[in-house]
Chain A
Amino acid sequence: MIGIIDYGLGNLGSVFKAFKFLNIEAKVISNPEEIDKCEKIVLPGVGAFGSGMNGLRTNGFESFLNKFKDSGKPILGICLGLQFLFESSEESPEVSGLNWIPGKVVGFQGDFKIPHMGWNQVKFTPGDNFGESFEGKYFYFVHSYFVQPKNSSCVLASCDYFGEFVCGIKYENITAFQFHPEKSQTSGLNLLTKWVKSC
């Protein structure tokens, strides 16, 4: 059973409905103690890094998430859920992330529209099993910040928006994407299915 973490923020309704549509059993987890019962978990999120991390902490999720990560069971992060994995974000400098992956979250800067909003093509790292089915497909993005991992070995996917940026990582039992698979129509639904089946 897949647990979708509810920490008071985020679009978990859409994620839940996507799994339901795919006939994949999923449950919204509002009580951190229930995380252990899950085979896999999804960390969704829309909004500000600071509010999100504070929400995770005040609702008591951090220690349970750390434990789940150490158990080796699969974790999927979406949007803010990708950003939480890192040390910190420029968006909320006074709040630390989960610090599972070295690196920071930085903001888009330049004379172009921010947030990056809409459908953009994703490039997957060659040799990874996600790459075969999804290379060059469009996914839906809406974000103003992006992750900068210290180590490029965890980079699973990248995207071009006035410069290339990392939009997917795979690190041990954690897979995470900046875009919203639950808003990316067939490609997104297929990606969710792939994660469930292969991770």
Chain B
Amino acid sequence: MLAKRIIPCLDVREGRVVKGVNFVGIQDAGDPVEAAIKYDSQGADELVFLDITASSDKRDIIIEVVAKTAEQLFIPLTVGGGIRSVEDMRKLLLNGADKISINTAAIEQPDLINQGAANFGSQCIVVAVDAKRKDRKDSSKGFEIYTHGGRENTEIDAIKWMQECQSRGAGEILLTSMDCDGTKDGYDIELYNEICNLLKIPVIASGGAGNISHLEDVLNRGNADAVLAASIFHYNEYTVGTVKNELHEKGICVRL
């Protein structure tokens, strides 16, 4: 049976892993290659590097990080952050990334999805989507897309956008609920339930996990195919192994 996937996400800035500290500042959390190997040995199914390098002249550092990681990591690696062109995608894929993830660039130039899929195959193209409820208390009023790190409301209907991504050739959707991200209170189950049953491509849930029951919930009731997790692993509250063992005990099919 196809297992649900547990995917640690690492924020990388200028070639170093960074993590938030109580939402106030960020601190250096080490070498991404070492972090990748650590998660791999714990049983991660895939890995995501999110490049948050602000300075445009330092943006090529991630390519070297990807190349070094690919020498030692033999699970799928997705790289996202600041990818705006087919050339950006090509450089990363040639250097060892298996998939690339685009967010704001996909909204600004949706044809990038088609071009990416045509050049490299749909399986390489992940579209990351930040969605927020129009009415916090009522999911039936719908969801809207946010860009630029969740700061700008495009007023585009999230469900319609994700369906469009699918028809343009996206291989997967990485969906973050802006209402839940960072709260550690769980995922927006209504959002995932609605989209996971509508789409034919896999959906990776992101944002909101505070404990393993949350993960179980979004994989079960939410019907997500995978979970992306950052802070739940970064602070060593859980290891990938303990998460998987517990999910397995709760009856969820995971690779052990």
Interface residues of B in 166-211 (CB under 8 A from A): 171-172, 199-202
Interface range for A = 20 to 34
Q: Take A11-B98, A118-B2, A120-B2 as given contacts and tell me if A113 and B202 are in contact as well, using a CB distance cutoff of 8 Å.
A: yes
Give CA–CA (A20, B73) in the complex, Å.
Answer: 12
Give CA–CA (A14, B66) in the complex, Å.
Answer: 12
Give CA–CA (A185, B75) in the complex, Å.
Answer: 6
Interface assignment of A72: CB less than 8 Å from any CB of chain B: no
Name the B residues within 8 Å of A138 (CB-CB): 3, 255
Give CA–CA (A147, B76) in the complex, Å.
Answer: 23
In the complex, the answer to whether A117 meets B45 with C-beta atoms within 8 Å is: no
Name the B residues within 8 Å of A183 (CB-CB): 74-76, 98
Q: Take A46-B121, A117-B171, A119-B3 as given contacts and tell me if A21 and B98 are in contact as well, using a CB distance cutoff of 8 Å.
A: no
Give CA–CA (A58, B111) in the complex, Å.
Answer: 30
Q: Mark A6-35, 1 if CB is under 8 A from B, else 0.
A: 000001011001101100000000000000
Interface residues of A in 17-64 (CB under 8 A from B): 17-18, 20-21, 46-48
Interface assignment of A100: CB less than 8 Å from any CB of chain B: no
Q: Separation in Å of the B200 CB from the closest CB of chain A?
A: 6
The A contact surface, by secondary structure, is: mixed
Name the A residues within 8 Å of B202 (CB-CB): 113, 117-118
In the complex, the answer to whether A182 meets B74 with C-beta atoms within 8 Å is: yes
Q: Separation in Å of the B170 CB from the closest CB of chain A?
A: 12
In the complex, the answer to whether A119 meets B98 with C-beta atoms within 8 Å is: no
In the complex, the answer to whether A14 meets B98 with C-beta atoms within 8 Å is: yes
In the complex, the answer to whether B94 meets A13 with C-beta atoms within 8 Å is: yes
Interface assignment of A142: CB less than 8 Å from any CB of chain B: yes
Interface residues of B in 64-88 (CB under 8 A from A): 70-72, 74-76
Interface assignment of B225: CB less than 8 Å from any CB of chain A: yes
Interface assignment of A81: CB less than 8 Å from any CB of chain B: no
Q: Take A14-B98, A117-B172, A119-B45 as given contacts and tell me if A185 and B2 are in contact as well, using a CB distance cutoff of 8 Å.
A: no
Name the B residues within 8 Å of A17 (CB-CB): 70-71, 74, 96
Q: Mark B227-256, 1 if CB is under 8 A from A, else 0.
A: 000000000000000000000000000010
Interface assignment of B123: CB less than 8 Å from any CB of chain A: yes
Interface assignment of A107: CB less than 8 Å from any CB of chain B: no
Give CA–CA (A18, B76) in the complex, Å.
Answer: 13
In the complex, the answer to whether B123 meets A117 with C-beta atoms within 8 Å is: yes
Interface residues of B in 112-159 (CB under 8 A from A): 121-123
Name the A residues within 8 Å of B19 (CB-CB): none
Give CA–CA (A59, B156) in the complex, Å.
Answer: 46
In the complex, the answer to whether A113 meets B74 with C-beta atoms within 8 Å is: no
Interface assignment of B5: CB less than 8 Å from any CB of chain A: yes
Interface assignment of B51: CB less than 8 Å from any CB of chain A: no
Q: Separation in Å of the B72 CB from the closest CB of chain A?
A: 7
Nearest-CB residue, chain B, relative to A13: B96
The one of B74, B171, B225 in contact with A18, judged by C-beta atoms closer than 8 angstroms, is: B74
Given A21-B71, A183-B76: 5 more A-B contacts, CB < 8 Å: A11-B98, A13-B70, A14-B96, A118-B5, A119-B45
Interface residues of A (CB under 8 A from B): 11, 13-14, 17-18, 20-21, 46-48, 113-121, 138, 140, 142, 160-161, 182-185, 188-189
